[in-house]
Chain A
Amino acid sequence: MRRGVFWGIVMVFLLAVAVAHADITLTNASGESITFTEEELGTIAASGEKPFEGITITVTVNQGGPKGGISGPLYEWRDAWEQITGAKLNIVEIPYAEHYPKVMTDLMTGTGQYDGFFIGSDWMGELVAGEYIIPIDDYMKDPRFPKWDPDSLPPSIRTLYTWGDKWYGPLNDCDGQILYYRKDILTNPDYRAKFEEQYGYEYNIPPKTWDELYDISEFFNGWDWNNDGEPDSGIVMHLKVGAQGMYHYASLSAPFCILPGEKVDKYHNVYWFDPEDMTPLINSEGHVKALEFQLKLQKTGPDAQVAWSLGEAWDYFLRGKAVFTFSWGDVGSLVQDETRSKIKGKLGCSILPGSYEVYDRSQGKFVKFDTPNVWGNTTGGSWHGVISALSKHPEVVYHLLAFHATNKISLWNVQRGWTGVDPGARFHFLPPYGTASLDDYVANGFNPEDAKEYLKAYYDNFFAPNIAPYLRIPGGNEYWVALDRHLSEAYTGQVSAKEALDRVAKDWEDITNRYGREEQLKVYQESIGYGK
């Protein structure tokens, strides 16, 4: 009898241990399940005690709806997260153009209406300088929270999630612009022969320089190369004012105006301002040449693109109407959606082209390189969650953000175009660069060749030896908006490239003076690693 009791107790104990260490399977709104280990999900979730019961947190995100970019994953995993924590998640969607002012108003007035924000990385300077958000380093070491892998991020992306040596947000989105092209069209031997006949050389696939890309784009523009009965375009860009058009310029112009060097000093590895006195560099000769080039390139695309937002430009490329576009990771995964795309399996991707000539400010002239001056970029928002310093429940917000940063959810998001979450961490990439499996991507609707092209291009971009500097100082949004407005004036033929950039420089000087030149200089130097 006693023996029976003993074994009974042992069995109950083993069962309890097994239950305590059992894997946890969570199902999202689409009905798909992912199984986590206790270590992956953290002890708060694994204990089943729901310590956040009765707490509601509110986070803001760009408007997009339950199947929209960046907002979508929050809806997708909301029930699952609420189930494991007991907390409630209130998602506040705000249109892109209104998001920054709404967040800043909440923080600066001390209202504290929101507990967390999914921010664009260019807001970071303002948020950190004002101490409006809190660092997350202590939470990251705490096994109670879901585990994510900060070491999987390339330095280029890591920079956007940190300030100094402190982390402010767990992994979410990794933005950068790469070149997308129609591999089937560029490899067409007839087209290649005709091009060679017309231009006197055989083009590279993908093009190595912007000049080469221009030639190809010009060659393909204005005739029906896809046999749909309508003339097609060489390139398509989203250039509408107020709709992130300026990011195209930022990515394209880097090789024309950033002189690579060993460290960040007055003349090397700088793009935005002179790091010694905050003089805008935006109207320097390198920038003017870059914009003049972009205006020329723009003519090899549809006229309407100057009024197009992301969706319209992407759609044009997805419908097979343009040979090139350069944009964010969304395009690569949207191409796989055959309800929208006619070009699945025909996609080529690469890091953006370079330039043989770059402006050297120390010499006051363009210098020539033997190999193209190529720059990777982190252009865009790299939208990720941060915790408001005014939140009464920062640990709950961190739990949510870390949950979304776990390898499994992050990979799930990356493999679905509509989530707006783009690849950047090592575990998103295929071997030998990362640990993801091609079969997983294929199982989630990717064409295997497209997936390889896409992920390799992003790896090359984020792990490139040269990464274009990112603007994230106080007033960052205002600097960007000034650039956006005046670039649009140039795109629509209202002013010349030089005049547009002179106007930007003037506006930037005004903004810098209003924010305080000395303070801005200090933050700018910190943000670009001046002297390092």
Chain B
Amino acid sequence: MKRKRIKYFFLFPSIFWVLAFTIFPLVYSLGLTLFRVRLGKPARFVGLANFARILSDYKMWNSLRITLVYVAVTVTLQVILGLLIALLFHQEIKGKSLFRALLILPIFCTPVAVGYLGLTVFYEEGGPINSILMSFFGTKIPWLSNPFWAWVAILLLDIWQWTPFCFLVILAGLQSLPEEIYDAAYLDSSSEWEIFRKITFPMVQPVIVIVLLLRLIESFKIFDVVYSLTGGGPGTSTEVYSLFTYRTGLKFFDFGYASVLGYLLLAMVSVAVNIFFRRIREVYG
């Protein structure tokens, strides 16, 4: 009897935590979506007007488009590069431990700091990259003043920071593959490409899918680097969805609409995750 009661005692903190910090905000923000809320003023019930507003809000669609492009490009490149580097480090190379340690350092940087670092690196008048470009090619790139190049700058920073994560996880996957299969495979074929295509890739695929999934979820929430590097500019060319939501809620205090935006992001990420899991279940049972 006593043992039965003590288990509730140990469960209480986690239940409290989930109720207070997950369920309550979720339900409360769901309620907010139906109101026009301004702090300090009485909330006004507006029904589904905040949801309807999404349809005509070109700024929201713009930020959503930017985010989807960003997710597609960065996640794809990070996983591909991570895989390639992992394959390289799966070989016997000199100084492997040192290079591996160096390569994973960016993961430990705070994304906001990475953004501010980018301000220096991509500085157009005499910044390090443009100075090199000027010395060798006599030209410079408008990194932060041109909408396209500002995008490239953000992508480069993000890829630089998160490719090592993909590399590390995929490398762990590669190193856990059984040696015997490779020994057998080398008896049948001497083509490295064939071995990669028919053995390595299929066997490491579950790990890649997990990496893909984790990066996908994280990338949808991109905020810090954009906030510190471009502030969403030039113009609104890099205003990603999270930044737009943040501004709506915490800068303009339009909480009802910001909640709708939050739920939309939740829905998008949930759909993406579900598609992935369904696919994983189909393939691996």
**Chain A contacts to B: CB under 8 angstroms:** 97, 100-101, 104-105, 107-110, 130, 240-243, 302-307, 312, 316, 475, 477-478, 481, 485-486, 488-495, 507, 514
CB of B206 within 8 A of chain A?
no
Q: Is the CB of A304 within 8 A of B233?
A: no
CB of B154 within 8 A of chain A?
no
CB of B235 within 8 A of chain A?
yes
Q: Is the CB of A104 within 8 A of B253?
A: yes
Shortest B238–chain A CB gap in Å is 9
Q: Is the CB of B231 within 8 A of A240?
A: yes
Q: Can you list 8 A-B pairs with a CB-CB distance of less than 8 A?
A: A241-B235, A242-B233, A303-B145, A304-B144, A488-B233, A488-B236, A489-B237, A507-B59
CB of B205 within 8 A of chain A?
no
Q: Is the CB of A485 within 8 A of B236?
A: yes
Q: Which residue of A lies closest to B130 (CB)?
A: A304
Q: Is the CB of B231 within 8 A of A303?
A: no
Q: Is the CB of B253 within 8 A of A494?
A: no
Chain B residues within an 8 Å CB radius of A243: 231
A-B pair count, CB < 8 Å, reads 99
Q: How far is the CA of A150 from the CA of B235 in the complex (A)?
A: 40
Chain B residues within an 8 Å CB radius of A475: 252
Shortest B275–chain A CB gap in Å is 33
Beyond A242-B233, A485-B235, whether A492 also contacts B253 by CB under 8 A is no
Mask, B122-146, CB within 8 Å of A = 1, is 0011000000000000000011111
Shortest A489–chain B CB gap in Å is 3
CB of B3 within 8 A of chain A?
no
Chain B residues within an 8 Å CB radius of A494: 147, 234-237
Of B231, B235, B252, the contact of A489 (CB 8 Å cutoff): B235
Of B124, B233, B250, B251, the contact of A492 (CB 8 Å cutoff): B233
CB of B39 within 8 A of chain A?
yes
Q: How far is the CA of A312 from the CA of B143 in the complex (A)?
A: 15
Q: Is the CB of A304 within 8 A of B232?
A: no
Shortest B227–chain A CB gap in Å is 9
CB of B42 within 8 A of chain A?
no
Which residues of B in the span 38-52 have a Cβ within 8 Å of any Cβ on A?
A: 38-40
Beyond A108-B40, A485-B236, A494-B235, whether A304 also contacts B125 by CB under 8 A is yes
Q: Is the CB of B145 within 8 A of A109?
A: no
Among the interface residues A97, A302, A304, which one has the most CB atoms of the partner chain B within 10 A?
A304
Q: How far is the CA of A481 from the CA of B234 in the complex (A)?
A: 13
CB of B36 within 8 A of chain A?
yes
Q: How far is the CA of A109 from the CA of B230 in the complex (A)?
A: 30
Q: How far is the CA of A398 from the CA of B88 in the complex (A)?
A: 67
Of B40, B235, B250, the contact of A488 (CB 8 Å cutoff): B235
Q: How far is the CA of A243 from the CA of B143 in the complex (A)?
A: 17
CB of B224 within 8 A of chain A?
no
Shortest B254–chain A CB gap in Å is 7
Q: Which residue of B lies closest to A506 (CB)?
A: B58
Q: Is the CB of A105 within 8 A of B234?
A: no
Shortest B74–chain A CB gap in Å is 21
CB of B278 within 8 A of chain A?
no
Q: A475-B252, A493-B147 provided; 9 other pairs, C-beta below 8 A?
A: A100-B251, A101-B251, A241-B230, A241-B232, A242-B233, A306-B145, A307-B150, A478-B251, A492-B145
CB of B247 within 8 A of chain A?
yes
Q: Is the CB of B252 within 8 A of A478?
A: yes
Of A105, A107, A304, A489, the contact of B124 (CB 8 Å cutoff): A304
Beyond A305-B145, A494-B237, whether A97 also contacts B231 by CB under 8 A is yes
Q: Which residue of B lies closest to A486 (CB)?
A: B235
Q: Which residue of B lies closest to A500 (CB)?
A: B235
Shortest B146–chain A CB gap in Å is 7
